Amino acid sequence: MSDPNAFTIWPKIEGIDALAELALNLRWSWNHAADELWEDLDSELWEATRNPWVILRTVSKDKIKSLLGQPQFRKRVDDLLRQNRESFRVDAWFQKKHPEAALTSVVYFSMEFMLSEALPIYSGGLGNVAGDQMKAASDLGVPVTGVGLLWGQGYFRQDFDSEGRQRALYPVNDPGQLPIWPLRRANGEWLRFQIQLPGSKIWLRCWEVVVGRTKLYLLDTNDFSNSAAHRGITSELYSGDAEMRLKQEIVLGIGGWRLMRALGMQPEVCHLNEGHAAFAVLERARCYMEDNKKPFDLALNVTRAGNVFTTHTAVTAGFDRFDPELVRKYLSHYAQEELGISLEDLLALGREDPENASEPFNMAWLAVRGSGQINGVSKLHGQVSRRIFQSLFPRWPEREVPIGSVTNGIHVPTWDSAEADALWTSACGKNRWREDHPAEDDIRRLTDEQLWKMRTAERKTLVGRVRERYARQLAAEGGSPSDAGSVLDENVLTLGFARRFATYKRPNLLLHNPERLVRLLSDQQRPVQLILAGKAHPQDLPGQALIQRWNDFLKRPEIRGRAVFLSDYDMLLAQELVQGIDLWVNTPRRPWEACGTSGMKILVNGGLNLSELDGWWAEAYSPDLGWALGDGMEHGEDPAWDAQEADTLYTLLEREVIPQFYEREEKGMPSKWLRRIRESMTQLTPEFSATRAIREYTEDHYLPAASGYRERAAKDSALGINVLTWQQDIARHWSTARFGGLSIETHEGRHAFRVEVFQGDLKPNQFKVELYAEPLEEGGPELEVMTACKTCPAPAAALIYSAEVPATRPAVDYTPRIVPHHASASVPLEARQILWQR
């Protein structure tokens, strides 16, 4: 709908449209073929911003015209544009692997997207996942469209005062300087539409971001037709009170789905990246009601089959909850006038107990009740999530709570160094992240010389960049920039610790015994250096205190030049760190890190991990790949356990990590260290890539969700009506079913079970009887379907159900149960009733 070339800000210069098209496609953020173009236009501005659009908006027309008039420069522009267009036209992995797929569109909702530092509309991990998955979807040709918010100030920026205290800064995101474009209708009109808030309607403006072959659409409320209060709704990310957050989530969820309608898109799949956008499931149902003249309950039943909910939260306190009166204020009209239901019915969708009028409205509960598939973001987080959400499925075993997992991955081309990219290309080819896994043998063939050359060059680059950054930081803090020249050494083992500073991440664990850490950092024979970075939320005073404690420690003269805390941890700084760090340290309190992706980013670059067995590392760790903290158990906030883990951390560094790095063979290389690097790169880099994650989402979630939605919607919602009728019958008649007597016989190595079932007002095809036993080891429970014996003698109104199992465990381990059953429904997600024989 939008054509930037039709609304160019420049006088007509031949070739300028081609430059604009390159600058406005964020493919340059992971494909660096065009970097030299932007350097030629303004090298200082490119180094400072990494934003081609800023360069085009800033450089004089004479400079642009002059360069475009040079045949060699013009040829590079034309060649790059042709290569871009050709790469978007050809079939990618999805088109080749699933040419007949019924999936034409996935809309991906997220509160934040981290795509490039040129578009600072992110906070951290959630945005990182969203941005990397958008890029991987582009590489693989999966038809994903993103929907988010254009934050006027984004997340805060950070610096330190002279005492080492964090200060929060809020620079304005000038849309004219961002690589985005107003989304316009065919007639040139800016695409805007209204949504209802109490007392008035507000205008939402629409923006377009091009991400390779995919699109991200952003909404904002900074329209001059809105009141000052409403214009500020999309001002700051993760700031303000509960009322502001509710308004933001209404704009994202309800406004975001209406944007799909305005664009004429009809996605089969709606992917909620966290519960912030859960109102989208309501708006999707409303649109289905409008299009098909169906009531809300049926519309939700049909559309939920196409909704996927990914939860990133490891503790229930992390879910957004809203006071019922606040929901009443903002959504009464929407419920009654647009959904055709009562406010109480809407509130019930976001409550554990629908009858509890005082219970807050939980966005995660709404997402569960509006989705057909739910997943956590690592295998361990899937287990944690089943425990968190079990209250929604009373009497169901925790293992059967319907939440799976798709472990996050990182978009490798965004995070690899130039040296790593060259080495991987030589070994695996240019298309290694656009198809299936790179061949493991190709990486294992890399020699120690190749790996050590890469690591040495990466560390040298990192030290240079840290010195440049630290010089600017010292100048801003009133210090002497020249002091940065003595910081770090390119030949020294370099540890990195960079993440959000929150108490559960235990950023002070490495500082638990300051004297022991000083001895490590000041060792003259086997020196170690440490780079730190990270922000604490402006309202998180304990997190800010941890930052100040580190800054106080770094003033000690014994470690001068061996440790530095870099301010304003952002995407660009993260890229610099993960490309050069030797050992990435991560110390969260298990199981509070749902996944974590920072440690994944060093894999492709030959960095190693020393991390708590939490999140992704709990499934990735092997002794030949890195080092681990913890015993795989949960210990809460136990100071004694923290002290024990701190001791383990120091001991691992002293006895294993540092000696192995400095144990050099005759060629001067650490062969044991390089062996770990080779195996880490080979085994972990592909497995923890966004390429793998998007393939998994596509094949295990998107394709089944698209088919499920289409099947329920077909033939005037016939299957949807059938499933809804079944649900209503189950809810109405479940209490009439009961068990009678149970008999067990054991003979010839088998247990034979016979149980009386009084089905009450239920029909036999609406439920099934199962024999259940808890698993003996890791894995799912033991289940055996019991069959009805219509000829067996039974009491009036009863049927006998029977089953046999091997007598390899006691018969008392098994319990008959009745569960709802429908061939096209997900149980217990869509029918949570269950009856156990006691």
The pLDDT-based confidence of 345 (bands split at 50, 70, 90) is very high
Tens-digit pLDDT profile for residues 385-415: 999 999 999 999 999 999 999 999 999 999 9
Residues 770-784 as b/e (b if ≥16 CB within 10 A, e otherwise) read bbbbeeeeeeeeeeb
- How many other CB atoms are found less than 10 A from the CB of residue 814? 21
Closest CA relative to residue 279, chosen from 147, 144, 145: 147
Structural element, H or E, at residue 610: strand 608-612
DSSP at 402:
S
The per-residue pLDDT for range 254-310, each reduced to its tens digit, is 999 999 999 999 999 999 999 999 999 999 999 999 999 999 999 999 999 999 999
Q: Is the pLDDT of residue 754 over 50?
A: yes
- 555's torsion region: left (phi>0), alpha (psi -120 to 50) or beta? alpha
pLDDT at 437: 73
Integer Cα distance of 339 and 441 in angstroms: 57
Q: Tell me the DSSP string of 447-496.
A: -HHHHHHHHHHHHHHHHHHHHHHHHHHHHHTTS-GGGGGGS--TTSEEEE
Enter the tokens of residue 633. Answer: 């158990």
Tell me the whole-structure pTM to 2 decimals. 0.96
Phi, psi of 466 (to 5 degrees): -65, -40
Round to whole Å and give the CA distance between 300 and 278: 13
Q: What is the predicted pLDDT for the residue at 10? A: 57
| 468-524 pLDDT, tens digit each | 999 999 998 888 999 999 999 999 999 999 999 999 999 999 999 999 999 999 999
Instruction: Kindly indicate the confidence band of residue 203, based on its pLDDT and cuts at 50, 70 and 90.
Output: very high
Residue 401, classified by CB atoms within 10 Å of its CB into exposed (0-12), middle (13-18) or buried (19+), is buried
The predicted structure's pLDDT at residue 1: 52
Contact 189, 260 (CB under 8 A): no
Q: Tokens for 486, please give them.
A: 């003595």
Dist. CA 479–CA 489, nearest whole Å? 21
pLDDT category at 6 given cuts 50, 70, 90 is: very low
Check if the beta carbon of residue 574 is closer than 8 Å to that of residue 542. Answer: no
Percent of the chain with pLDDT over 70: 99
Residue 8: per-residue pLDDT? 53
CA distance 297 to 306: 15
Is the model more confident about 471 or about 430? 471
Alpha carbon distance 153, 480 (integer Å): 30
Are the C-beta atoms of 528 and 489 separated by less than 8 Å? Answer: no
Which band of pLDDT confidence, cut at 50, 70 and 90, is reported for residue 13? confident
In whole angstroms, how far apart are CA 451 and each of 112, 420, 455, 674, 678?
36, 9, 6, 7, 8
On the question of pLDDT at 426 being above 90, the answer is: yes
Q: Residues 6-14: contacts with CB within 8 Å, 24+ apart? A: 6/188, 7/181, 7/182, 7/184, 7/188, 9/57, 10/61, 10/64, 11/61, 13/61, 13/64, 13/65, 13/68, 14/68
Residue 9: band (very low, low, confident or very high) from pLDDT cuts 50, 70, 90: low
- Mean pLDDT computed over every residue of the chain: 95
- pLDDT score for 4: 47
Among 46, 42, 81, smallest CA distance to 62 is for 42
Q: What are phi and psi of 743, to 5 degrees?
A: -125, 145
Q: Which two tokens stand for residue 557?
A: 């003269």
How far lies 526's CA from each of 514, 515, 621, 663, 812, in Å? Answer: 18, 17, 26, 10, 61
Which H or E run contains 259? helix 256-262
Cβ proximity of 801 and 789 under 8 Å? yes
Q: How far is CA 521 from CA 560, 564, 653, in A?
A: 9, 12, 11
Supply 217's token pair. 């659409």
Instruction: Determine the Cα–Cα distance for residues 164 and 180; give it in Å rounded to an integer.
Output: 36
Distance in angstroms (rounded) separating the CA atoms of residues 657 and 663? 10
**pLDDT at position 7:** 42
What pLDDT score was predicted for residue 431? Answer: 86
Say how far apart CA 53 and CA 179 lie, in whole Å: 5
ω into 538 cis (within 30 of 0): no
Phi, psi of 323 (to 5 degrees): -60, 140
Bridge pairing between strands 192-197 and 583-586: unpaired
pLDDT of 5 higher than 70: no
- Among 458, 563, 466, residue whose Cα is nearest residue 164: 563
Cα–Cα distance, 319 to 362 (Å, whole number): 7
Q: Pick the range with the lowest mean pLDDT from 65-69, 373-377, 429-433, 443-447.
A: 429-433
Q: Which of 719, 690, 727 is nearest to 306 (CA)?
A: 719
Q: Percentage helix, strand, coil, to 5, in the chain?
A: 45, 20, 35
Tokens of 76: 């590079």
What is the C-alpha separation between 685 and 539, in angstroms, rounded?
36
Rounded Cα gap, residues 473 and 317, in angstroms: 36
Q: Which of 183, 189, 481, 198 is nearest to 331 (CA)?
A: 198
Please, are residues 390 and 378 in contact by the beta-carbon 8 Å criterion? no
Q: Tell me the one-letter amino acid at 604.
A: V
| Cα–Cα distance measured from residue 381 to residue 588, given in angstroms and rounded to the nearest whole number | 14
Residue 555, number of CB atoms within 10 A of its CB: 9
Percent of the chain with pLDDT over 90: 91
Q: How far is CA 283 from CA 184, 279, 370, in A?
A: 23, 6, 11
